[in-house]
Amino acid sequence: MSDRESDRRVPSAVGDDGVGVLSQSDLTVPTHQIVDPDGSYDPDAVPDLSEEDRCDLYRWMVTDRVFSRRMVKIQRRGELGTFGSTRGQEASIVGSAFTLEPEDWLYVGRAWTPMFMRGGSMTDMINFWRGIEAAQEAFAKQNSQIAISIGSHVPLVAGLAWGMQLDDADAVATAYIGDGATSTDAVHEGINLAGALSLPALFFCQNNQYAISMNVEDQTGAETLAQKALAHGIDAIRVDGQDVLAVYDAVETARERVKDGDPVFVESVTYRLDAHTTSDDPTRYRDDDEVRAWEAKDPIERYRSFLESEGLWSRIDHDAVVEDIEAEFDEALAAANEFEERRAAEMFAHVYDEAPPELARQMEAFEKLLENRPEMADYIDQRPKG
């Protein structure tokens, strides 16, 4: 018997029947935190960031919040089909994305500001939520993509990381997922592949407490989501997702380990203050007291207290920051509203590099229908826009 096999068989606890039982109660999973909710912190634990970077973290978090607010507003006016707000998750989103390099690949779910941080535009993001495929093409130029179907992108990220490994690339492939995704088969398949092949893959899980209406405590018997990674043979970190410095520190640590050939899973404990999407009614499955308790843990206010303690708040004009973001959004919306209406035939164009005969036949028949009966175009719904 090898040492490794022997280790696997060492019991954690031995019952009366002499059988070794391994229980999650034997496992301690700490939650990394730098700035406490009350604003206190150990100066020696603060990541080594320049003063400008520290101020930029705040600006990006405010960008995230303003963008969500404006997107919800235009959806309510009928200018979007739906939208998923990220209010309350700003530290989790910005702190993690701040660690990534341009050559790293990023597949996100419920994290829109990382695209802006990598050079993407608000116009493209508005168009994405209007169903315009050109937006994803634009994001790809920044080595980024948005994944809507839950967990489906994780095997793709593992495959991308495999290619990076074969090319000996000095970069990592990163997947953002939510707590609900950890209950899907695709996520475990992708993470397992990363663990088996020691791929340069980083899995960042935003545990915002709800998979639409399913509370994380009802979704799984695991006490943490981080511990699920251990079953696939990869390291895990659990971090306070309302603490932007802790998130940055955790993901920066994870990224360095990933580059050394050790894939890492990071669980960021955060909270979705708004609805899952604008089609959702969260009052049906959570109470106001719970929401207020998390509002008291506002990540932007916590970070502001840190900046004040460091003497950096005077360098930030909050009102001016918001005004600039509002103006950027106004310009982006105006540009998105000028985007030409799409031809219905384009629904056939983005599935295959070369259309198979049956799809080509369907497209030809559809185009002939519109040519012979132009009144049918009146029944084609175009995307909502201002």
**130 noted as active-site residue:** no
For the chain, the C-alpha Rg in angstroms (whole number) is: 23
**276 noted as active-site residue:** yes
Catalytic residue among 285, 315, 343, 361: 285
CB atoms under 10 Å from CB of 75, counted, come to 19
Catalytic residue among 32, 272, 302, 304: 272
Closest CA to 263 of 173, 177, 179: 173
Dist CA 295 CA 273 (whole Å): 7
HEC sequence for the chain: CCHHHHHHCCCCEECCCCCEECCHHHCCCCEECCECCCCCECHHHCCCCCHHHHHHHHHHHHHHHHHHHHHHHHHHCCCCCCCCCCCCCHHHHHHHHCCCCCCCEEEECCCCHHHHHCCCCHHHHHHHHCCCCHHHHHHHCCCEEECCCCCCCHHHHHHHHHHHHHHCCCCCEEEEEEHHHHHCHHHHHHHHHHHHHCCCEEEEEEECCEECCEEHHHHCCCCCCHHHHHHHCCEEEEEECCCHHHHHHHHHHHHHHHHCCCCEEEEEECCCCCCCCCCCCHHHCCCHHHHHHHHCCCHHHHHHHHHHHCCCHHHCCHHHHHHHHHHHHHHHHHHHHCCCCCCHHHHHCCCCCCCCHHHHHHHHHHHHHHHHCHHHHHHCCCCCCC
Query: How many residues in total does the chain contain?
Result: 386
**272 noted as active-site residue:** yes
* Contact assessment for residue 79 and residue 385, using Cβ atoms and an 8 Å cutoff: yes
Closest CA to 64 of 329, 278, 241, 302: 329
* Contact assessment for residue 238 and residue 31, using Cβ atoms and an 8 Å cutoff: yes
* Contact assessment for residue 266 and residue 239, using Cβ atoms and an 8 Å cutoff: yes
Catalytic residue among 110, 153, 276, 304: 276
Catalytic (active-site) positions: 272, 276, 285
